[in-house]
Amino acid sequence: MKAWLIVLVVVLIVVVAVGIVWLSRGETAPARPPVIVGRSTVERIAVASGRIEPAYEVEVRSQFSGLVAERFVELGDRVEVDDPLVDVRQVVTKLSLIQAERAIEAAEREREAAKEFLNREHLASFATLLVFGDRQLERQAEQADLGVQQARETLEFLKTGKLRIGDDEVDTIVRAPVAGHVIDLVRADGQRVIPVGSYQPPTEIARIADMDHLEFRGTIDEIDVGSLTNGLPAEIRIGALPGVLLQGRVHDVGRKAKIVNNATVFDIWITIQSSTAEVMRAGYSATAEIFIARRENVLVLPERVIEYRDDEPFVRIPGNDGTATEQAVTLGLGDGLVIEVTSGLQEGDRVLEREYPQME
């Protein structure tokens, strides 16, 4: 008895399932409401990715070897031309002092010999006088005096790290070659400094940048390059500062393509024209939206309702008898979601959604 009951339940379930399937095949999807032609703003935007960079950035290196003795600035400080940055104290050994003193003694001997020539105390001086004249002996004496002075100045510079020659003062302080903000600086006192011109890479003492004039430097896809011109407005968003929106204008677009991640892109530079209260840092990752074209208060339709036949656009509008009628349209600017309709429709017209064949 129980077996017959189970069979009966199974049969009833199969019959109900077949009935549901059969009834559902006769149902049709509810018609979607028509789209109303309205007015809106259409923009064509190109997106570039890149970084925020200063207008210029200068590396500062030392002409002297030694150790960092003192730093006069901190990161973020603004400096002017010739402002002191870092004092690089020379490493003076006893041997170098002895050599400098010996150089003074040698220069003094040269001066004594030149004076003897000038005072005609050598027979060779008469030959020099006969061949070159009296002025040559005077120049030799003057050159010897300069040699002594230079040797003494070298010793003084080794001992004190400073030297005054006339109105000029020479020291071991590295100074700012340009005005701007310090965005990088040697970290610790006592760090060894390798000078410019040595066989090893020179030590970077500081990096000065113009943080008052920033620009966006990035790349843009080749699809959008043909529509870009200098002066186009742009909005720049910084990944690390979500609430910051900067205004700018396209300054230049690269003339040569390059391959990045198997994509063909071009370089783009955008001058930033607005400011923000946030502290800006060189190298922030950013994206820029460049407004290529803009149409305000124009008739628009969703691009999904546009159909094409032989590259000619048309839409379907409801007829008086309830059937759909095709209407040719002329299109303008589109952004991928909505598109401008320049002729063929009026504001308030109703447009039917596209019909797609149903899957059996």
- What pLDDT, in 10s, does the model give residues 146-162? 776 776 666 666 666 66
Per-residue burial over 20-51, b = 16 or more CB atoms within 10 Å of its CB, e = otherwise: eeeeeeeeeeeeeeebebeeeebebbbebbbe
The answer to whether the pTM exceeds 0.85 is no
Q: What is the pLDDT of residues 34-65, one digit of tens each?
A: 888 889 988 888 999 999 999 899 999 988 78
pLDDT score for 50: 95
pLDDT score for 26: 47
